């Protein structure tokens, strides 16, 4: 149970409505709560600095469901949304996914260290993976979901991606037939009517993945150019999304912690 009671506001700007601003005890509670849920790069901070404000902005962007760090004012006002999200039972934590795996999924390779994401993403991936795995057991032997790229260590602009800034996006490699001969390192480049693609792409496994992801991950959008799966309303077209698919998740409903 998260308990996060404050006497005033913390972060950028000044005191409003006569409540204290950046009171040392409030600051410590906020810092320690961030650290306890995985934002550990602020653990040694003793004052509110730019990096601390950037973290508040990252957190605000996550809670708003933004895939870029934008739309946050960098301050935690008492009893307002950011305070309540930080106190929430399902506050978004921050995790390193390097080398992690579960039933039905494994992180195969991340580029440029883009291995960090929210606990929302990790939990939902785990759920989708379990259902995908169970279905695979009964129907056929599918390769696990090959997870590729998340966000960078402290969030923000992510090399190789237009979004991916807030731990709400993930890229997945495409499942390939005959995975004894081919594995996740074999990248499929083209998405439509290409002979090599058609002979290698395991569309049935991909269909099963997308269905489980849609059912379990509270997705906003899945970007993937495969014409057959688009016709089944499992994904949408977007430039450069022929050789992998991209997922954006939405924030959950908030389960309040103790903030008053």
Closest CB to Zn ion among residues 21, 246: 246
Q: Is 167 in the site for Zn ion (CB under 5 A)?
A: no
Q: Is 224 in the site for Zn ion (CB under 5 A)?
A: no
- Is the Cβ–Cβ distance between 78 and 57 less than 8 Å? no
Token pair listed for 196? 């090599």
- Binding positions for Zn ion, 94-153, rule CB under 5 A: none
Q: How far apart are CA 175 and CA 137, in angstroms?
A: 16
Shortest Å, Cβ 184 to Zn ion: 16
Shortest Å, Cβ 57 to Zn ion: 21
Question: Which span sits near Zn ion by CB under 5 A: 51-59, 75-83, 97-105, 246-254?
Answer: 246-254
Measured at CB, which residue is nearest to Zn ion? 246
Q: How deeply is 255 buried, as exposed, middle or buried, from its count of CB atoms within 10 A (0-12, 13-18, 19+)?
A: exposed
Closest CB to Zn ion among residues 83, 246: 246
Residue whose entry in the numeric block shows the structure tokens 């074999």: 186
Q: Is 168 in the site for Zn ion (CB under 5 A)?
A: no
Q: Is 171 in the site for Zn ion (CB under 5 A)?
A: yes
Question: Which span sits near Zn ion by CB under 5 A: 23-31, 127-135, 168-176, 228-236?
Answer: 168-176
Q: How far apart are CA 109 and CA 105, in angstroms?
A: 12
Shortest Å, Cβ 95 to Zn ion: 18
Q: Is 246 in the site for Zn ion (CB under 5 A)?
A: yes
3-state helix, strand, coil in the chain (%, to 5): 30, 15, 50
Shortest Å, Cβ 90 to Zn ion: 24
Shortest Å, Cβ 162 to Zn ion: 8
Count of H-run helices and E-run strands, the chain: 7, 10
Q: How deeply is 11 buried, as exposed, middle or buried, from its count of CB atoms within 10 A (0-12, 13-18, 19+)?
A: buried
List residues near Zn ion by CB under 5 A: 171, 246
């Amino acid at each position: 149970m998260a308990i996060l009671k404050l006497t005033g506001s913390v972060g950028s700007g000044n005191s409003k409505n006569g409540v204290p601003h950046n009171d040392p005890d409030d600051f410590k509670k906020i810092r320690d709560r961030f650290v306890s849920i995985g934002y550990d790069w602020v653990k040694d901070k003793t004052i509110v600095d730019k990096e601390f404000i950037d973290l508040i902005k990252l957190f605000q962007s996550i809670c708003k469901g933004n895939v870029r760090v934008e739309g946050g004012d960098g301050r935690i006002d008492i009893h307002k949304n950011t305070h309540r999200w930080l106190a929430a039972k399902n506050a978004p934590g921050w995790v390193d996914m390097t080398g992690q795996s579960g039933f039905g999924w494994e992180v195969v390779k991340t580029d440029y260290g883009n291995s960090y994401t929210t606990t929302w993403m990790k939990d939902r991936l785990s759920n989708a993976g379990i259902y995908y795995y169970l279905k695979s057991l009964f129907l056929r032997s599918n390769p696990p979901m090959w997870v590729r790229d998340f966000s960078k260590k402290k969030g923000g602009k992510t090399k190789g991606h237009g979004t991916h800034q807030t731990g709400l996006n993930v890229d997945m490699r495409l499942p390939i037939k005959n995975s004894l001969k081919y594995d996740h390192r074999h990248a499929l480049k083209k998405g439509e009517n290409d002979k090599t693609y058609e002979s290698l792409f395991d569309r049935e496994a991909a269909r099963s993945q997308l269905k489980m992801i849609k059912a379990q991950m509270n997705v906003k959008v899945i970007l993937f150019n495969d014409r057959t799966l688009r016709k089944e309303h499992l994904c949408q077209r977007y430039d450069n999304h022929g050789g992998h698919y991209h997922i954006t998740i939405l924030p959950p409903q908030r389960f309040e912690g103790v903030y008053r």
